[in-house]
Amino acid sequence: MRRVLIGIVILAVVVAVTFFAEQWSFFAPGPPVQHRRATIVWIKPGVRSAQIAQELQNAGVLRSAVLFRLGVAVRGKSAALKAGEYAFPSGASMADVMGILTSGKSIEHKITAAEGLTSAMIYDIVRRDPMLTGNAGVAPAEGSLLPETYLYTRSTSRGAMLGRMARAQQRLLAREWPTRSPGLPFKSAQEAVILASIVEKETAISQERPHVAAVFINRLRLGMKLQSDPTVIYGLTRGYPLGRGIRESELAAPTPYNTYVVTGLPPTPICNPGKASIAAVLHPEASGDLYFVANGRGGHVFTKSIAQHEENVAKWRRVEKDITTRRSPPIPSVQAKDNIISDGRPQTSAAPLSAATSRAQTSRPPRRPHRTRF
């Protein structure tokens, strides 16, 4: 009997020691991280707990994969470990590691689709993002994406990201279209997006967008041509910069997007407009203005009459001349017989660019005073 009692006591002591040893090791600080604040580990979907533990040990997050597996199993959390990309801080205990894996809070990456980029440009950004997976699929329709910064986890597919951008615009239009100002000359939300894309390319100043939108809306109501340079450029390059000014012959060339030739809206958007440009078109400023031109200070000056507009154009030409004289002499165009409505620089190869740069190269003031261009 005495031996039995002694055996029970010894067993109890062993169990207690083992329990406290396991508790201590499970909650004790883990390995330090070398050269960084955290160790990044990507746990792929479908991986079992044993493989997860081994990957964490190989990455230096754990000292012992076996002890981690036992500790997780004892606590009934083996099935709760989630796939994802995680950042494990230096010295994280096994308990900390288990908490991170069961939380499912993967690292979030971000991708930015800037306002004013075409769908082809955004498609290329998504296609080249190294953290996205899978095929991007077919390029989305022009103007069908909502420019924004999107957060995503590493397992997100390229096709899913493009779908998310498209759904974001659909939700925005479903919310904003019913609240639009009365009497707008649009038959559909798609037509509003087309005009918003022109507004997006005409000005980078948020406060000006409702005023610019009002000018275009006034012109549509009167049956006047929109005469917007960005539409001409889109018809020539699908939104990529010319690298020079627009030529007289290009302003006169009949393309579906040339609003110097075509009355009304072009057939599709010319870029993906942001929320502010869409809002400006659906809720334009109350104004009777029909013209605008650069004011030399980064913005525009607006007028109702062609006479006042031509005076503003003349003022802008003086400012532009002062700017030109401070530059190096212009290089003559290789097509000397064709008037260039800009600074005479030769065309350079087209390349993707930011929305701000795109506006700078497409929103040009009129170069001929007899034109009623903005």
Contact by Cβ (8 Å): 271, 239? yes
Distance CA 101, CA 53 (A): 11
Checking if the pLDDT of 171 tops 80, the result is yes
Distance CA 120, CA 178 (A): 29
Question: How many CA atoms does the CB half-sphere of 69 hold within 13 Å?
Answer: 13
352 plus 292 within the same structural domain: yes
Q: In this structure, what is the dihedral angle of CA atoms 83, 86, 88, 92, given to the nearest 10 degrees?
A: -30
Distance CA 265, CA 259 (A): 7
351 plus 219 within the same structural domain: yes
Q: Is residue 121 part of a domain?
A: yes
Contact by Cβ (8 Å): 165, 274? no
Distance CA 233, CA 257 (A): 8
Between vectors from CA 148 to CA 142 and to CA 149, what angle results, nearest 5°?
130
Checking if the pLDDT of 163 tops 90, the result is yes
Checking if the pLDDT of 286 tops 60, the result is yes
> Based on the structure, what is the number of domains in the chain?
3
Ranges 23-27, 68-72, 274-278, 362-366: which has the least confidence: 362-366
291 plus 258 within the same structural domain: yes
Contact by Cβ (8 Å): 126, 110? no
pLDDT digits (tens, 9 = 90+) for 298-317: 889 899 988 888 888 888 78
Burial class (CB in 10 A: 0-12, 13-18, 19+), 304: middle
Residues in the chain: 374
- Written as one letter, the residue type at 251 is L
Question: How many CA atoms does the CB half-sphere of 183 hold within 13 Å?
Answer: 6
* Selection from 336, 332, 329, 327 nearest residue 344 by Cα: 332
87: part of which helix (H) or strand (E)? strand 84-89
Q: Is residue 253 part of a domain?
A: yes
Tell me which of 56 and 7 has the higher pLDDT.
56
Query: 87 is in which domain, residue-wise?
Result: 37-49+80-107
Mean pLDDT of the chain: 84
pLDDT of residue 356: 33
125 plus 242 within the same structural domain: no
pLDDT of residue 319: 75
125: part of which helix (H) or strand (E)? helix 119-128
> DSSP states of 3-30 as a string?
HHHHHHHHHHHHHHHHHHHHHHHHHS--
Distance CA 139, CA 145 (A): 11
Q: Is residue 17 part of a domain?
A: no
Q: Is residue 59 part of a domain?
A: no
User: By percentage, how much of the chain surpasses pLDDT 70?
Assistant: 80
Tell me which of 150 and 25 has the higher pLDDT.
150
165 plus 255 within the same structural domain: no
pLDDT of residue 329: 53
Torsion sign (Cα): 283, 287, 293, 299:
negative
* Selection from 305, 308, 304, 320 nearest residue 365 by Cα: 320
Checking if the pLDDT of 22 tops 70, the result is no
253 plus 153 within the same structural domain: no
Checking if the pLDDT of 169 tops 60, the result is yes
* Summary count for the chain: helices (H), strands (E): 13, 8
164 plus 195 within the same structural domain: no
Q: In this structure, what is the dihedral angle of CA atoms 278, 282, 283, 284, given to the nearest 10 degrees?
A: 80
pLDDT of residue 360: 34
Q: What is the mean pLDDT of residues 200-222?
A: 95
Distance CA 326, CA 236 (A): 30
46's CB contacts (< 8 A; 6+ apart) are: 83
pLDDT of residue 374: 43
317 plus 252 within the same structural domain: yes
44 plus 134 within the same structural domain: no
- DSSP single-letter state for residue 140: P
Q: What is the mean pLDDT of residues 341-349?
A: 32
Checking if the pLDDT of 67 tops 80, the result is yes
For residue 282, which phi and psi values (nearest 5 degrees)?
A: -80, -20
pLDDT digits (tens, 9 = 90+) for 225-239: 999 999 999 999 999
Which residues are bridge partners to 38 per DSSP?
A: 89
240 plus 309 within the same structural domain: yes
Alpha-carbon distances, residue 174 vs 134, 190, 269, 285 (angstroms): 30, 11, 18, 22
Q: Is residue 271 part of a domain?
A: yes
Q: Is residue 141 part of a domain?
A: yes
Q: Is residue 145 part of a domain?
A: yes
- Using the 3D structure, point to which of 107, 125, 153 is the last residue of a domain: 107
Q: Is residue 22 part of a domain?
A: no
- Written as one letter, the residue type at 256 is P
85 plus 116 within the same structural domain: no
123 plus 200 within the same structural domain: no
Tell me which of 33 and 166 has the higher pLDDT.
166
Ranges 20-29, 45-54, 64-73, 327-336: which has the least confidence: 327-336
DSSP, collapsed to helix, strand or coil, labels residue 259 as coil
